[in-house]
Amino acid sequence: MKKHYFRSAVAALLPLLLIAQPVEACTGFIIGKKLTADGSTLVGRTEDLEPNHNKNFVVRERVYNKKGAIFEDAANGFQYPLPEISYKYTAVPDVTPDQGIFDEAGFNEYGVSISATVSASANDKIQKVDPYVKDGLAESGLTSIVLPSVKTAREGVELIAKIVEEKGAAEGNIVTIADKEGVWYMEILSGHQYAAILFPEDRFAVFPNTFFLGHVDQSDTERTIASKDLEKVAKEANSYKEVDGKFHVSQSYNPPLQEADRSRVWSGIKSLDPSSPVKYDDASFDLLHTTDRKLTLRDAMNLQRNRLEGTKYKPQDQMELDGKGIPKKGEFDAVYKYPISNPNVMEAHIFQLKDDVPASAGGGTMWLSMGSPRNAPYLPYYGNILNTYQAYQELGDHYNDRSWYWTISRINDLVAKYPDLFEDGAIRTEMERLESQWMVEQDLSDQEQIALASQPEEASKKATEESLARAEKTFERLQEIRKEAEQKVADEHGKSALQDLDDEEDAAYEEKIDLVDFDYDYILAAGLFGATLLAIVIYLIRSKKQKGGKQDD
């Protein structure tokens, strides 16, 4: 996930860091229905950026747009005509629309689901030939454009392809779009290049922030959608690569594999298939994998909560607690690695798609963990709900105990800062117990939705009532857990410890830099100016030393 602000700690180095720093954000996965115990398809993603970043869960109503109405992305100025009708859909947006909507994930009224996006980026050679377009399609507006505009997943892929061809992409992204016909996996590779495949039902994939597509059969137009110049651009960029005599997309378009991507793809594959032959130091990782195991929704939840358990590695965010110092971004460490479940996860979602659940209900369930799922529950939601619980709709960038996100954020912060007080894992155990209960209840709800397929209004009413009641009861319990955790910390470390936590959260908020006000051309110019100034200083120092040396002689 890309956002337009960074910490003030890097403000002075911003011109140089903007290009050099790798993005460590989001991990996606797909599990085909032939690999699951119940025959459902599982698709999901963790949305990562930073701690203390509020998210909402809302229903966006169907809208009849005025002729000539235009969608504009406040994040980068991207514009696109709105359709005559914008279909109803659910979304998980940011609370700062002036910096981009970032609707991220949801169902629309036709049973199309989307998760967008996992950020990725083409290598420098590719970007010189087909650069990203400053006001092109970006993650910030992608879901808001696609989900209310399409009736099928394929239409969604085709719409993205059309936009990328005509207006360009502002960044590289990986998108999953699904419906009753299956799941499409799409990579937006460079300014105008893309490739998408209909994901095989007998495979699984784990994909952090790098491209994974291998050979793409563009002659198979039923299962593949790709830009016509996909190979041509790679050849012009002199980054064209073949594997087994065939053009390989990711090896042609990717930069070198980052350590944070390596740790997540490897641990993700091993989480779903412990017997997989993949090794941590493999040169590259394939997109498609298989396993003899029958995977479940619980396996998917465990994947998103994975913190390198059962391996010789430790989570990178544990370094400071272990007295090993603060981890440095991009720096290699032999023991501490970047896990899928990291402090930057703001929400996690899993689509459980079933053949017999009506498309009008979403064709399945979105299991949503608002806030990091490390100590938070996944709750099930159909696509036909009419409203969401108020705690999901609380706005604001500061801690608010009426907010679902901020309540979970506080619980996670307490557990992370005082692990010795919560080492029994009681909170996580309770979350999993609730989830197991809801899984049973959801199977019964599926049957109700199937029975009400011919009465969509009644089905929506039923789904809404059930989800609101569950959310209300759960939020009440989460508030109790938060208060119990705060009391435990206060008893052990004093009430000042809670005030310290408040101060840290406020300080983190104040340190955010809003890059929406920056012009990237000016940033680049500043970087070049800084580099030139540095070169002049070095030249003057060397000249002075040389003069001094001659005088000594």
Give the C-alpha separation, 164 to 32, whole Å. Answer: 28
- pLDDT tens digits, one per residue of 373-432: 999 999 999 999 999 999 999 999 899 999 999 999 999 999 999 999 999 999 999 999
Whether residue 492 is contained in a domain is answered as no
The rounded Cα 459 to chain-centroid distance in angstroms is 30
**Average pLDDT for residues 484-494, to the nearest whole number?**
95
pLDDT (0 to 100) of residue 329:
72
Q: Tally the domains of the chain.
A: 2
For residue 336, the SS3 value is strand
Band (pLDDT 50/70/90 cuts) for residue 503 is confident
Whether residue 508 is contained in a domain is answered as no
- pLDDT tens digits, one per residue of 30-88: 999 999 999 999 999 999 999 999 999 999 999 999 999 999 999 999 999 999 999 99
pLDDT (0 to 100) of residue 15:
37
Who contacts 455 (Cβ-Cβ below 8 Å, separation ≥6)? Answer: none
Work out the mean pLDDT of the chain and round it to a whole number: 90
Do 114 and 257 have their domain in common? Answer: yes
**3-state DSSP helix/strand/coil % of the chain, to nearest 5:** 40, 20, 40
Do 546 and 458 have their domain in common? Answer: no
- pLDDT tens digits, one per residue of 505-514: 666 655 554 3
Whether residue 63 is contained in a domain is answered as yes
- Beta strand 113-120 with 172-179 is antiparallel
Do 523 and 475 have their domain in common? Answer: no
Who contacts 476 (Cβ-Cβ below 8 Å, separation ≥6)? Answer: none
- pLDDT tens digits, one per residue of 328-371: 776 789 999 999 999 999 999 999 999 999 999 999 999 999 99
pLDDT (0 to 100) of residue 549:
47
Band (pLDDT 50/70/90 cuts) for residue 17 is very low
pLDDT (0 to 100) of residue 8:
34
Whether residue 428 is contained in a domain is answered as yes
- pLDDT tens digits, one per residue of 526-551: 555 555 566 665 656 565 555 444 44
DSSP conformation class of 157: H
| Catalytic status, residue 513 | no
- pLDDT tens digits, one per residue of 249-270: 999 999 999 999 999 999 999 9
Q: What is the span of the domain harbouring residue 87?
A: 23-483
Do 309 and 372 have their domain in common? Answer: yes
pLDDT (0 to 100) of residue 305:
98
Do 533 and 407 have their domain in common? Answer: no
Do 479 and 538 have their domain in common? Answer: no
pLDDT (0 to 100) of residue 515:
34
Give the C-alpha separation, 246 to 349, whole Å. Answer: 35
Given a contact cutoff of 8 angstroms between Cβ atoms, the answer to whether 370 and 55 are in contact is yes
Considering 422, 455, 483, which residue would you say is the last residue of a domain? 483
- pLDDT tens digits, one per residue of 128-172: 999 999 999 999 999 999 999 999 999 999 999 999 999 999 999
Whether residue 4 is contained in a domain is answered as no
Structure tokens at 520: 């990237």
The alpha-carbon radius of gyration of the chain (Å, integer) is 24
Do 530 and 425 have their domain in common? Answer: no
Do 239 and 366 have their domain in common? Answer: yes
Do 243 and 290 have their domain in common? Answer: yes
- pLDDT tens digits, one per residue of 114-137: 999 999 999 999 999 999 999 999
Whether residue 146 is contained in a domain is answered as yes
CATH of the domain at 204: 3.60.60.10
**Average pLDDT for residues 440-458, to the nearest whole number?**
98
Do 245 and 381 have their domain in common? Answer: yes
Residue length of the chain: 553
pLDDT (0 to 100) of residue 210:
98
pLDDT of 173 strictly over 90: yes
> Within 13 Å and on the Cβ side, how many CA atoms surround 426?
9
Percent of the chain with pLDDT over 70: 87
Whether residue 512 is contained in a domain is answered as no
Who contacts 552 (Cβ-Cβ below 8 Å, separation ≥6)? Answer: none
Give the C-alpha separation, 317 to 158, whole Å. Answer: 40
> Within 13 Å and on the Cβ side, how many CA atoms surround 48?
25
- pLDDT tens digits, one per residue of 277-326: 999 999 999 999 999 999 999 999 999 999 999 999 999 999 988 888 88
Do 266 and 376 have their domain in common? Answer: yes
pLDDT of 212 strictly over 50: yes
Q: Is the peptide bond prior to 117 cis by the omega test (within 30 degrees of 0)?
A: yes
Give the C-alpha separation, 504 to 126, whole Å. Answer: 41
Band (pLDDT 50/70/90 cuts) for residue 6 is very low
Given a contact cutoff of 8 angstroms between Cβ atoms, the answer to whether 215 and 231 are in contact is no
Percent of the chain with pLDDT over 90: 82
Do 252 and 157 have their domain in common? Answer: yes
Residue of 26, 91, 159, 169 marked active site: 26
Classify each residue of 527-538 as buried b or exposed e, where b means 16 or more C-beta atoms within 10 Å of its C-beta: beeeeeeeeeee
Whether residue 128 is contained in a domain is answered as yes
pLDDT (0 to 100) of residue 500:
78
Structure tokens at 190: 């460079």
Give the C-alpha separation, 155 to 81, whole Å. Answer: 16
pLDDT (0 to 100) of residue 325:
81
